[in-house]
Structure 1
Amino acid sequence: MQTSGTHLVHAQSGTPSSARRSVLKTVALATACMFACGAGWAQSAPLPKGGAVNLAMVGEPQGLDPMVSTADLVGTIMQHVYEPLYTFDANWNIAPMLAESLPAVSKDGLSYTIPLRKGVKFHNGRDLTADDVVASLQRWMELSPRGKAVGKEVASLTAKGPLSVELKLKNPYAPLLAQLALPSGMAAIMAKDSIAPQLKEFIGTGPYKFKERRPDQFTVLTRYEGYAARKEPASGYAGKREAVLDELRFVPVPSANTRVEGALSGQFQYADLLPVEAMGRVEKGAPAVVPIVTKNFGFPYIVFNTKEGVLASQPVRRAVQTAVGTGELMAAGFGDNRFFNVEPNFFPKGTPYYSDAGSKFYNERNPQLAKDQAAKAGYSADQTVRIMASRQYEFHYNMALVMAEQLKKAGFKTDLQVVDWATLVQRRNDPKLWDVYFTHSGLLPEPMLSPPQLGDGAPGWWDSADKKASLSAFNQETNPAKRGALWGKVQQAVYDEVPFIEVGKFNSLSARSAKLQGYTPAIWPFFWNTALKN
């Protein structure tokens, strides 16, 4: 997503505590098992090794650098090649991956000492060292939108011996470990000798290594025989990872209907993000095809260009917000109300970050008031609002169609530009090319993880005194209860300044072959610990 390019509760940085575990358990229950309850993370019997799978993705990744792009598609593929220091388990707790354990944190919350696992090998056969970690994180803080936000909080980053890293902060920063754990815009640990502004080699420590990419055809990863797995049982993205399959072939399939047909015919062993209206057809494909419904998968949102163009004016953005009926958009995007919720709160009730702040500005759908607001703001009817959307995410396109009509009723001139997803991701970096684009994000365990517009420099370029003040207070507070109360001020700032509109929340539909064993639904699908039934 986006991100596509992904929120849901805080994983407190620092030494683990009963309070943190309590908060995360509350969230895990309240979000109805984003990791698909009952699917099971560990296999009781050994999986049969070998075989190759065709995995139908929504499109072509615009690149394979997991730091530079926050697009979910890039993170989904490259999380098999690269690994982070920390990751998330099945209950969205922070868990170590390349780190040996959770960090030792100083009493003032400013110094993190991170021990590294011994004997981890890169795909070039060399052992992982602290120098690789430091070089990787420095690159992440220079190039990644998420990394840049973290970099502003970091005072120093140094190697303390061959297998220890020390990270010092300028101020307490609660989201640190969650930022280091996210697959999207990943703080990927790379072989130091492979690092460059533009990667030419993709050398990580993951269970699969990069083999080949043919644009618009496939990206192929193969099993890394020298992979050093963790010993803990598999849980979410954490614990033991095993490359059981010989080969993963990620195939770009922009047409949602083609992904459906390919899943039903057996051409694809997995088909990602299918239109919800295909549910009946997928169910009829049983027992050969298994529908996958991932609950509380994510939220669509509409990003505004606050830097240039007609929507650089906050009063004009406010008028657009008044014109938009998010209920109509969600109905257009998902149809079946079992697949979506229309609600103004960014986080569900029962979670620490639930707030109704700004809710009066949600789902107004008032064209006359919007027209009056636009006129007062100086909007001229000859100014075009350029809306970008991609049909590779069919719900984006369907919502964009409805929004264009809602804006026309409010007197706005619109231009709906339908492009492939890779083009949209490329064009959104140029503020001269667009005014609005549609995307979505997963419901994640830390508010600062998504959407990236909460950070700095992401497309949309939201920057204001209110944003900085509310986020600074929120991020420096490490007490979960106090932090939850501060989230409301951040949410209010989003509603007041309209850098984006969160449309609602949705469940996702994908499908897999019944022969694909061990697969468990997740926001970023992964295929370690999966096998093909003979």
Structure 2
Amino acid sequence: MKKRSMIATGMAASLVLAACGGSGEETGGGEAGDVGVSPELNVAFNAQPPTMDPLTTTAHATRIFARVIFEPLIDLDAEGEVQPVLAESFDVSEDGHTLTFQLREGLTFHDGSDVTAEDVLASLERWVELSVIGSTYFAEAEIASPEEGVVTIGLPEPMYVAPQLLADPGQMPHIMPAEIVEAAGEGEVEEHIGTGPYTYGDWQADQYLRVDRFEEYQSPEGEPSGMAGEKTAYYEEINFHFVGDDTTRMTGLQTGEYDMATPIPWDNIEQMEGDGNVDVIPGESGLPFGLLNKAEGPTADEDIRRAIIAALDTEAILLSAYGTDEWFSQNTAMMPEDSDWYVPVEGEDDDFYQNQDLDAAADYLEAAGYDGEEIRIVSSPEHADRYDTAVVLQQQLEEAGMNAELITADWSTVLDTMEDPSGFEIAISGLNNWPVVPSTMYFLNEGTQGTTQSEEIFAANEALTSAEDEEGATAAMEELQEAYLDYLPIIKFGDRRTANGLNAELEGFEYVTGQGEVFHHIRPAE
């Protein structure tokens, strides 16, 4: 873990953050004359959300669209620091057992009702019940409001990473009116009412989602950065068009039908970079990997998993998927180099992962008693980079003497297959964004896809999330990475970068590591 202090993230005892806390002034809404408000922004995106309820899915599209409508108590800035949003300030008690949030005064929901501590309690309790992070790490927490405008989260044990987990964008604990939360029960919310700079407008399946400018929006203060700081609704409406076809998306950007298109396929990046009307904006977009089946079949044997790693030429795989090394890096570590959680991998461990060694692969196969059992690689052509990865992976495993079969299917079928240990040995997948806390990577946890069964990983995970201070968290992260490299729950091919296209007459789009696309700062260029 890098030694940049995490004190600024709000995880140290008695820390109070108020730099971004709002005063209740309407800095993002108000009359159209207050800011240069344009009629509409048209964004072409390659997928549509399965729902707009952020707690009932982990879908990336839901995450990034929902956060222009909803807001949490705290969120992350572009540097990954935790900052207040609906909270005026927050602090962690000296003993680490209590997080206290002072709510901003005068906040209203899109329906005009006041934001109260009751709404916050209902929203947080729903988050604990329905979200993976909430149910895993906060199930025993006591959420209360000792006085109006104040909310506390009592922890049975100190948890240094608690603020980071609360700010994780995967299934953000967005604040909604209590009556909407209560009406939803264990199901999805039927009304999408938040506090964000845009209100829910219209959703036409397979076509678009429209959000409308919230005239009474009350923004947090501070320099705009990631999902923190001041937010301004620069458009009367934003239309998110669901455009799965790459050619249609790129053509629409070049002709001006769309103001933005994301992502740009790697094969089209050079073309877009040569178009003077388009700015290509890169971003660190997570890790492509092969999920290994540890429950049954050949890959349940650790020597087979090591044979697979030894057989890999990861550079060739990444070049086939992403074209040039501008769009990937061969990073063996669990986390990217700009992360606070980055632990470098050096020496023999790095050599083993990054350098193909067919002799070593043969030795591991012999140790496992491999006798030509089929190794099924499952991938979907809907994700071109993942399919290209699978093709080269199959070739390399066959070169190493393994009986590798490539099975292709639509992405939903691949997801279903990953839930069934009898259906695959390797499933080509990935994380679209880096986790805020590494422990939340699903393949490091029990009872998830791939069936990780490593007591060493589980113990290190527990040590990280239960650490009381930075020193303990740092030591646990080092142990977690060591256990991960020893057990090999996945084949990590490297780190991936993405490209986004923005009309050259606009500015303000951010692609933030760990957060993804941030749309609400887009505005006409000055």
**1:48 matches 2:36:** yes
Which range moves more in the overlay, 345-354 or 262-271? 345-354
Give the direction of change, closer, same or farther, for the CA distance of 1:525–1:487 in structure 2 (3 Å limit).
Answer: same
- The residue number in structure 2 matching 1:129 is 116
Q: Which segment is superposed worse, 514-523 or 323-332?
A: 514-523
Q: Which residue of 2 aligns with 1:182?
A: 168
1:255 aligns with 2:245: yes
Separation of aligned partners in 2, 1:214 and 1:120: 30
Deviation at 1:208, TM superposition (A): 1.5
Q: Secondary structure at the match of 2:224?
A: coil
Q: Is the 8 A contact 2:319 2:325 kept in 1?
A: yes
Number of equivalences: 498
Q: After superposition, what is the alpha-carbon deviation per residue over 1:309-353, rounded to whole angstroms, capped at 9, x for unaligned?
A: 654444443333333332222222222122222132234568663
Change in Cα spacing, 1:430 to 1:64, as seen in structure 2 (3 Å) is farther
Give deviations 1:103-132, integer Å, cap 9, x for gaps.
2x2222111122222222222322222222
**In percent, how many aligned pairs have the same letter?**
27
Q: Which residue of 1 aligns with 2:60?
A: 72
Is 1:231–1:239's contact at 8 Å kept on the other side of the alignment? yes
Aligned match of 1:300: 288
Distance 2:273 2:337 in 1: 31
Q: Within 1, Cα distance between the matches of 2:202 and 2:297?
A: 40
Does structure 1 retain, via aligned residues, the 8 Å contact 2:381–2:409? yes
Q: 1:290 aligns to what SS in structure 2?
A: strand
Kindly state the Cα deviation for residue 270 of structure 1 after the two structures are TM-superposed.
1.0
Residue in 1 that maps onto 2:390 = 400
Please state how far the C-alpha of 1:513 moved relative to its aligned partner: 0.8
Is the partner of 1:51 in helix, strand or coil? Answer: strand
Partners of 1:333 and 1:203 lie apart in 2 by: 40
- 1:439-450 equivalences in 2 (<5 Å): 439-443=430-434, 446-448=437-439
Report SS of the residue matched to 2:88: coil
The one-letter code sitting in structure 2 at the alignment partner of 1:143 is: L
Cα 1:236/1:431, change in 2 over 3 Å: same
Q: Is 1:142 equivalent to 2:133 in the alignment?
A: no
Kindly report which structure 2 residues correspond to 1:25-64, keeping only aligned pairs within 5 A, or say none.
47-64=35-52
1-side partners of 2:344 and 2:98: how far apart? Answer: 32
Q: Counterpart in 1 of 2:273?
A: 283
Distance 1:208 1:20, change over 3 A: closer
Aligned equivalent of 1:318: 306
**How many angstroms does 1:362 deviate by?**
1.2
1:251-400 equivalences under 5 Å are: 251-286=241-276, 288-294=277-283, 296-307=284-295, 311-347=299-335, 353-356=342-345, 358-367=349-358, 369-370=360-361, 373-374=364-365, 376-377=367-368, 381-392=372-383, 394-400=384-390
1:132–1:189: 8 Å Cα contact kept in structure 2? yes
* TM superposition shift of 1:281: 1.3
Q: Is 1:100 matched up with 2:88?
A: yes
Q: Secondary structure at the match of 1:362?
A: helix
CA shift digits 1:1-48 (9 cap, x unpaired): xxxxxx998845656589999xxxxxxxxxxxxxxxxxxxxxxx9752
Match of 1:417 among 408, 425, 439: 408
- What is the letter of the counterpart of residue 170 of structure 1? P
Is 1:483 matched with 2:473? yes
Deviation at 1:139, TM superposition (A): 2.2
Does the 8 Å CA contact 1:367/1:407 hold for their aligned counterparts?
A: no
Which structure has the greater CA radius of gyration? 2
After superposition, the Cα gap between the structure-2 partners of 1:423 and 1:157, relative to the gap in structure 1 and judged at 3 Å, is farther
Structure 1: 5+ residue stretches without partners:
1-6, 22-44
Task: Tell me how far apart the structure 2 counterparts of residues 428 and 190 of structure 1 sit (CA, whole Å).
Answer: 33
Aligned-partner SS, 1:406? helix
Segment of structure 1 superposing worse, 510-519 or 427-436: 427-436
Tell me: CA distance 1:211–1:19, structure 2 relative to 1, closer, same or farther (3 Å).
closer
Which has the higher relative contact order, 1 or 2, with Cα contacts under 8 A spaced 6 or more apart?
1
Q: Does 1:527 align with 2:519?
A: yes
SS in 2 for 1:160: strand
2:29 paired residue number: none
Give the RMSD, CA atoms, in angstroms: 3.3
User: Which residue pairs with 1:30 in the alignment?
Assistant: none
Matches of 2:416 and 2:248 in 1, distance apart? 24
Is the contact between residue 146 and residue 452 of structure 1 (CA under 8 Å) also seen in structure 2? no
Corresponding position: 1:117 with 2:104: yes
Aligned to 2:145: 159
Q: Distance in 1 between matches of 2:326 and 2:522?
A: 29
Aligned CA distance change for structure 1 residues 20 and 307 (closer, same or farther; 3 Å) = farther
* Residues 407, 414 of structure 1: 8 Å contact kept: no
Q: 1:525 to 1:9 in 2, by over 3 A?
A: farther
TM-score by length of 1: 0.83
Structure 1 Cα separation of the partners of residues 447 and 40 of structure 2: 39
1:246 maps onto 2:232 in alignment: no
C-alpha displacement of 1:259: 2.5
Counterpart-to-counterpart distance in 2, 1:265 and 1:529:
23
TM-score w.r.t. the length of structure 2 is: 0.84
Structure 1: how far apart are the matches of 2:293 and 2:145? 40
In structure 2, relative to structure 1, the CA distance for the partners of 1:387 and 1:55 (3 Å cut) is same
- Give, as a single letter, the amino acid of the residue that structure 2 aligns with 1:326: T
Moved more, 260-269 or 435-444: 435-444
Amino acid at match of 2:519: F
For residue 220 of structure 1, report the CA deviation from its aligned partner. 1.9
Contact 1:8 1:347 in 2 (8 A): no
2 CA distance for matches of 1:476 and 1:493? Answer: 17
CA distance in 2, matches of 1:387, 1:265: 37
SS in 1 for 2:518: coil
Amino acid in the other structure paired with 2:54: P
Partner of 1:39: none
Give the structure 2 partner of residue 209 of structure 1: 199
> C-alpha distance in 2, partners of 1:192/1:437?
40
